[in-house]
Structure 1
Amino acid sequence: MKIKLISLLIGVLLNALAFTSFAENLRNTVEENTKAAHTTTNTNPITNSSIIDIAGYKVPVVKGGLYDRYRSNPPLHVIQSEAPDVDLSWFKQLKKTKVDIGFESYSPNFYYKNSKVTAVFTADIDRLRELMPSEVLEQVQPLQIWPGRGLVAFTAYAYHYCDNDSYNEIALSIITNEPGSSNLGPLTLIGQSMSKDFWGYVLKLPVDTELARVRGIVGYNLPKWLTRINLSENDQTVTYEIYDRKTGKVDVTFEAQKLEDLSTDAALVTNSFTNIDAKGQLTTGYAVSRQLSYGTNSDNDSVNLKLNGGELSQYIKSLKLGDVMKYEYVPEFQSALYAPELLTQK
């Protein structure tokens, strides 16, 4: 492929990836007198816990917390009284239903106050295909944006207040086509970006509470494990540290810039995934996010992913990550996570 054609393709792709238009100069000069950095460590140790049973697992939860009291179905008036600064207008339009997902729960699961940062990298497409089960590959495939290169999304979430109390989560996902639809590489990606309806296959999903781990594995068929995740921030950056579950040392550090000129026009974005349940059946699940404050660019300098040689680091290195195709900073969003369904029901 000629250089000019490659450049044109990348230009079209990057323009389509942006949720909103931004000026070229997104990185303003740092103020001379910055405020002192403030740090929040979210390892979620539960000092005052209740032990509950979820599908045979004995799970510690915050005693008197939302999950302890309401099992994913708290009345919105309770949320309003406990978090009066949270806008609940969107959640009032959504109806919860009782579901059996390996244990009794309610769908969708509500996330009232959250933040996240995402970097989309190019990656070795042969390695991505190798990591997906053959049954899944029959339905969806990695999007190839140019020969030999697919895309993976690295997203760090902080769920500050939700039906499952609070926790941090790191998602590493392959970007794919939708089941039953054509995979036209960049054109498919452009279509997903324009419709704000993205599809993927989740590779790794560490979390820092046992409640999030058990619910994710049993209820949503997701590859979760429990480890320490620290979140810190200052005036310029937000940083997540993911600890190795074997050594107890920091394994992955993800530092991301806080962008300016953020959009505050509420936007709904759907993220769906395809996977396999405990019975070997193909399933799909999805979450709808209401983004309340967000910004994006395609600057490699906006993120710094440091890999220290642990289990997750070695896995990420095997993907042969390339440039950042898109960076998204979302300091405020809400979300509704729906129970998975068999693929044949979609």
Structure 2
Amino acid sequence: MKIGSIAVMAGVLMNTVSVFAWAEDPTEVKGAGNTMIDIAGHEVPVVAGGLYDRFRSNPPLSTIESEAPDVDLSWFKGLKKTKVDIGFESYSPNFYYKNNRITAVFTADLERLRELIPAEVLDKVQPLQVWPGRGLVAFTAYSYEYCDNDSYNEIALSIVTNKPGSSNLGPISLIGQSMSKDFWGYVLKLPVNTELARVRGAVGYNLPKWLTGINRRDNDKSVIFEIVDHDTGKVDVVFEGRKLTAPSNEVELVTNSFTNVGHDGALTYGYAVSRQLSHAASTSADSVNLTLNEGSLSGFMKSLKLGKLMKYEYVPQFQSALYAPEPLQSILATE
């Protein structure tokens, strides 16, 4: 189905932060060229000799420079990694050196969005209301071509919310986030296509990740992501975004943050800073074609009663730094 359009500023949520089953048997994804490692008691297949196998999220930039000489590392040289315990030993931030994404922001049923946010989170943040009865969701397809976790694809479905500790003023809050390029949300679904990405996200960030097929392809006009239903093996969701002409090459920094509940029940927040190297946006309905079939993700998305397309973003080149979760109280105390 094609979703209609209306002009308004809206942000993109990462990670945020998407087909609904856990791949519990690592042999399902173990194959030639993989080796098994332990992450918090999970046996995880990773690329033998890949970045994660060798460096566990802390590769020297000199290695990246040697293996990917076409990647600009100037931004990463100004960022410092620190060792963290997120249920396993890791380093924060996690670096994503070469990536691309497409995002569509739609209106959705406000009451349904409120129902989907846990009560303790809803006490701190609420969906932004753009007009009576309608909130916003962001649907993003990521292709991480080269990162500390090797490479993988990810789909993020998130509710656009106010910032914790700030007033929810609906469209005014939305415009404020757009102007500051500091967006907040609550992540609903986050499927990935590698077990490494699933385990790291589920254990380290308590995010709703599961393993399924996510296929990316493109042609002269569009980028297409096909999301497979884990139970049936059939394509469930097809997200096609137009390759917008003349994208800007002006470097732009965008922060996408999410509020969540940690494994211990305490509220947390996480965020990623993206350095957008090539980007364009549109509010035209022709920019996006979203096909929902009969699988679990499609059924869930249909329940949101998606409406008008508010904004489409085509970002063929970006870099990102994903930070480990922190207690939400640490930022509420400063508000």
Normalising to structure 2: TM-score of the pair? 0.91
- 2:78 aligned with 1:86: no
Structure 1 match to 2:167:
182
Q: How far apart in 1 are the matches of 2:330 and 2:52?
A: 29
1:147-193 C-alpha deviation (Å, 9 max, x unpaired):
00000000000000000000000000000000000000000000000
Q: How far apart in 2 are the matches of 1:256 and 1:47?
A: 33
Amino acid at match of 2:166: S
Equivalent position to 2:118, from 112, 119, 133 = 133
CA contact (8 A) 1:244 1:311 kept: yes
Q: How far apart in 2 are the matches of 1:184 and 1:209?
A: 39
Structure 1 match to 2:149:
164
Structure 1 match to 2:107:
122
Structure 1 match to 2:46:
61
Q: How far apart in 2 are the matches of 1:255 and 1:284?
A: 30
How has the CA–CA distance of structure 1 residues 135 and 261 changed in structure 2, closer, same or farther, with 3 Å as cutoff? same
Q: Secondary structure at the match of 2:44?
A: strand
Q: How far apart in 2 are the matches of 1:224 and 1:17?
A: 24
**Displacement of 1:45 after TM fit?**
7.2
Structure 2 match to 1:76:
61
- 2:251 aligned with 1:260: no
Percent identity over the alignment is 72
Structure 2 match to 1:197:
182
Equivalent position to 1:96, from 77, 81, 102 = 81
How has the CA–CA distance of structure 1 residues 68 and 18 changed in structure 2, closer, same or farther, with 3 Å as cutoff? closer
Q: Secondary structure at the match of 2:190?
A: strand
Q: Secondary structure at the match of 1:179?
A: coil
- 2:302 aligned with 1:344: no
State the aligned residue count. Answer: 311
**Displacement of 1:246 after TM fit?**
0.6
Instruction: Please provide the CA RMSD for this pair.
Output: 1.4
Question: Structure 2: which 5+ runs fail to align?
Answer: 1-5, 13-28
Structure 2 match to 1:283:
268
Question: Structure 1: which 5+ runs fail to align?
Answer: 1-9, 20-43
**Displacement of 1:50 after TM fit?**
1.1
**Displacement of 1:46 after TM fit?**
4.4
Amino acid at match of 1:304: N
Equivalent position to 1:246, from 231, 237, 241 = 231
Q: How far apart in 1 are the matches of 2:228 and 2:30?
A: 15
Amino acid at match of 1:48: G
1:44-94 C-alpha deviation (Å, 9 max, x unpaired):
874211111100000000000000000000000000000000000000000
Equivalent position to 2:292, from 283, 289, 307 = 307
Q: How far apart in 1 are the matches of 2:228 and 2:289?
A: 17
**Displacement of 1:289 after TM fit?**
0.1
Q: How far apart in 2 are the matches of 1:229 and 1:342?
A: 32
Amino acid at match of 1:258: K
Q: How far apart in 1 are the matches of 2:229 and 2:212?
A: 7
1:121-151 C-alpha deviation (Å, 9 max, x unpaired):
0000000000010000000000000000000
Structure 2 match to 1:326:
311
Equivalent position to 1:207, from 156, 176, 192 = 192
Q: How far apart in 1 are the matches of 2:214 and 2:10?
A: 28
Higher relative contact order (CA 8 A, sep 6+): 2
CA contact (8 A) 2:163 2:184 kept: yes
How has the CA–CA distance of structure 1 residues 17 and 202 changed in structure 2, closer, same or farther, with 3 Å as cutoff? closer
Amino acid at match of 2:139: F
